[in-house]
């Protein structure tokens, strides 16, 4: 996960630099300390969901877009075009963390690797 964190931090840093804001200015806008922002950008710390949402808002992108750029999104498989997973992904009421959690739960019950439940036969 360190590679993903680093990648996410690098993307945040590049986006911040494109807006021509110093790290100190941007950290103030996000509402976090300059050292915490530095640790996020260097990949030393994971931003909380709330902090990532605030970072994304100040960069005028979605948190989902930041995750996707970092290769951390749950991109749909080629075979997956409809169904429950697609509905979860498209529901605008959910944030990125909620989507991932729901997809993990769904996969735990109905994913390709989960065992199929056998039907119990009633006692005779």
Percent of the chain whose pLDDT exceeds 90? 32
Q: Which residues of 38-51 are buried (b: 16+ CB within 10 A; e: fewer)?
A: bbbbebebbbeeeb
Considering the four listed CATH numbers 1.10.260.40, 3.40.1010.10, 2.20.25.10, 3.30.365.10, the one that applies to the domain covering 2-69 is 1.10.260.40
Chain centroid offset of residue 89 CA: 12
Q: What is the pTM of this model?
A: 0.57
Dump pLDDT digits (tens) for 72-99: 765 544 444 447 878 888 888 888 888 8
Tens digit of each residue's pLDDT (9 = 90 or more) over 18-40: 989 999 999 999 999 999 999 99
Separation of alpha carbons 74 and 90, rounded Å: 12
Residues of the chain with CATH 1.10.260.40: 2-69
Angle at 8 between CA 5 and CA 38, to 5 degrees: 80
Q: Give the relative orientation of helices 34-41 and 2-18 as an angle to the nearest 10 degrees.
A: 120
């Amino acid at each position: 996960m360190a590679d993903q964190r680093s990648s996410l931090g690098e993307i945040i840093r590049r986006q911040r630099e494109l807006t021509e804001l110093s790290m100190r200015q941007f950290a103030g806008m996000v509402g976090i300390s300059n050292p915490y922002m530095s640790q996020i950008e260097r990949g030393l710390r994971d931003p909380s969901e709330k902090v990532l949402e605030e970072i994304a808002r100040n960069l005028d992108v979605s948190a989902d877009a930041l995750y996707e750029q970092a290769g951390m999104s749950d991109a749909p498989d080629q075979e997956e075009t409809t169904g429950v997973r697609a509905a979860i992904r498209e529901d605008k009421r959910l944030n990125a963390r909620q989507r991932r959690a729901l997809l993990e739960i769904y996969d735990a019950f109905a994913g390709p690797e989960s065992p199929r439940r056998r039907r119990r036969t009633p006692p005779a």
